[in-house]
Structure 1
Amino acid sequence: MRRKKLLLLTGFATLVAGAAGPALAQASATDEIARYRQMLADGNPAELWEMRGEELWKKKTGPKNVSLEQCDLGKGPGVVKGAYTELPRHFKDVNKVMDLEQRLMHCRMTLQGLTRAQATAQPFAATGKPSDIEAIVSYITSESRGLPMATPTGHPMEKAMYEAGKKIFFYRGGAYDFACATCHSVDNQRIRLQDLPNILNKKNAQLAYTTWPAYRVSQGEVRTMQHRLNDCFRQQRFPEPLYGSDAITAVTMFLAKNAEGGVYAGPALKR
C-alpha cells in the first residue's frame, strides 16, 4: 500500500510538472488530476494528521494540565461530531462569532491555560516544524465528514459577519487592484492547472468549501482554511491578516453559507 501510494504521488507530481507544456490540453490535465485524486482517496495522507490531532485533543497539557475534551465547539462540551458543519457561529460565552481556529485558540487559552502567543504558536507547519493546530483541526473537521453544511445566520452578529465577509470578497485593492471576486465570481476560469471555483455558483461553492482543510501534495502538509485564505490575500498583494483575524472569520462565514447543503468531504487531497 505504501509503495502504491508513493507511485501515485510521484505520478501526480510528474503530471503537475509536465502539464504546463503545450502538448497537454487543459481539460485533459484537469481530468488526470481528478483521476489521481480519486485513486489516492482511500490512502489520503491527511489521515496521519487526523490521528495525531485526536491524540492532541485528548492529551492533558498546558499550565492547567487538562485536555481539550471539554472544549465547546457549538454543540456542547467535547462534542466534535458535526461541529464543523455549523461553523462559524455565534458563541454566547464570548458574545462573538468565531470560526473553528478562533474557537480552538479560545479553548486552549481558557481550558489549558495557554497564553495567546502559546495558543497561536506555529499555526502553519514549516520545514521540520509540524503544527499542532493543523493536526487538531484535521481531527475535528474529519468528524463532520459526510454531513451537510449548515452554518447558522440567525443571530444578528452572524448576519453581520456574513455581510462583512461579502464586502471583503468583493473589495478591490492592493497592487493589482484585485478582489477575491476577481478570481472566484466567474464560471470556467482557471490559472494554469488550477481551476478557480465560482463561489457565487452554489455547486462550485459547495465543492470548494467542503474539501478544506486539505492535504497538499505540493507541500506535503495539511493546510487549514486560515492558511488557504491567507494565501489568497498574499496573491492579491494585501497585507497578511493576523492568525485568528476576524476578517478571515468573516470571509469564512461568507464561503460557508454559500456552500450550505453541501456534504462535507474533508480533509481532502489537493495538488
Structure 2
Amino acid sequence: MNINAWAIAAVATAGLAQPLLAQDQSDAGIAAYRAALQDGNPAELWEMRGEVLWKTKRGTKNASLETCDLGKGPGKLEGAYAELPRYFADARKVMDLEARLVYCMETLQGWDTKPYFNKGAFKSKGPGSDMAAIATFVAAKSNGMAFKVDTSHPAVNAAVKTGEDLFWRRSGPFDFSCATCHAEDGKRIRLQGLPNLLKTEGAATGVATWPAYRVSQSEVRTLQHRMWDCYWQMRHPDVQYTSDAVTALLTYMNAIGNGNEIKSPYIKR
C-alpha cells in the first residue's frame, strides 16, 4: 500500500473513532477497540516520514541526523529510547528524546529551532510537526524492549528528585498537580480511566506507550506534548518545549516505569 493509500485509510479510521467509542465507554470496550486498530495503526505513517526525515540532509549545514548520538553511539537507534532520559556529556545536561533531537538538529544540521520549537512542535503543519514523526521513528526502534533509565549518574538522580517535586507541586488557578489525577487508583476524567503513575503498571500506560496516535485528534503526540497538554488542562502558562523542568518530570516518570515494555507507537483516545 502506498503512502497516499495509507493516509486515506488513516483519515477514514479517525472519522469512525468517536462513534465507535461512544457505543462502549467501558475499559474493556476501549481496550478492544485499540487492539483492533493497532494492526493498522495510522502512526505508521508518521514512523515512515520520520525515517525519511532522519536520513534527509537539511539545515544550514546540509546534514542528516544519521550521526546523532542518542546515547548508544552515533546513529545507533536500537534500544536508545529505552534508556532515555540520560545525561549527555557533550551537552552537559540530562535530556529526553525530543530534547536530544533538538540538540542534534541545532548542532549537526545547523537549525535555528527557537522560532518554532516552543508550541510549534505541536502543530499539525510546518517544521515543528517534524518532531512527532522523528520521535516516533526513533521510539519504534525500542518497541518491545523494557525501559531501563539509569539513575546512578548524579545529574540524572537530581533530575528524578526535581521531577518528583514537580509531580506533587500544587499550583495554578485550580491548585492542581500531576498527583491530583495520577497518584491514586480508580480515578477518571470524562469517563476515561487515569493511570496511577506511581505504580509500575500505571507507568506502563502513562509512559511506555508514547509516542501514540490520538484518535480524537487524528495526530501522533509525544511525551513532551503530553506534558504541555496536562499543564494546559491545569490552566498553567504554556510550558516551554524541551525545558529542563519537563525533562526532569519525564525522568522521574520514566524511572518509575523501568521494566515496562515499550509499546510505541500506540493507540490512544
What TM-score results when the alignment is normalised by the length of structure 2? 0.91
CA distance 1:89–1:5, change in 2 (3 Å): closer
CA distance in 2, matches of 1:227, 1:33: 22
Matched, 1:201 2:223: no
**SS of corresponding position for 1:78:** coil
**SS of corresponding position for 1:123:** helix
**SS of corresponding position for 2:121:** coil
Aligned residue number for residue 170 of structure 1: 168
Aligned residue number for residue 137 of structure 2: 139
Alignment of 1:54-65 (within 5 A): 54-65=51-62
Instruction: Structure 2: give runs of 5+ residues left out of the alignment.
Output: none
Alignment of 1:105-124 (within 5 A): 105-117=102-114, 120=117, 122-124=120-122
Q: Is the 8 A contact 1:125 1:221 kept in 2?
A: no
CA distance 1:4–1:34, change in 2 (3 Å): farther
Amino acid at match of 1:202: T
Aligned residue number for residue 80 of structure 1: 77
**SS of corresponding position for 1:43:** coil
Aligned residue number for residue 15 of structure 1: 20
Q: CA offset at residue 126 of structure 1?
A: 3.1
CA distance 1:130–1:158, change in 2 (3 Å): closer
Amino acid at match of 2:190: R
CA distance in 2, matches of 1:179, 1:30: 25
Matched, 1:39 2:36: yes
CA distance in 1, matches of 2:191, 2:101: 34
Q: CA offset at residue 120 of structure 1?
A: 2.4
User: Could you tell me the percent identity over the aligned residues?
Assistant: 48
Amino acid at match of 2:69: D
Q: CA offset at residue 128 of structure 1?
A: 8.1
Aligned residue number for residue 152 of structure 1: 150
Amino acid at match of 1:82: G
Amino acid at match of 1:233: Y
CA distance in 2, matches of 1:176, 1:185: 17
CA distance in 1, matches of 2:98, 2:181: 25
Q: Is the 8 A contact 2:116 2:127 kept in 1?
A: no
Count of paired positions: 263
Judge which range, 43-52 or 127-136, deviates more: 127-136
Instruction: Structure 1: give runs of 5+ residues left out of the alignment.
Output: none
**SS of corresponding position for 1:103:** helix
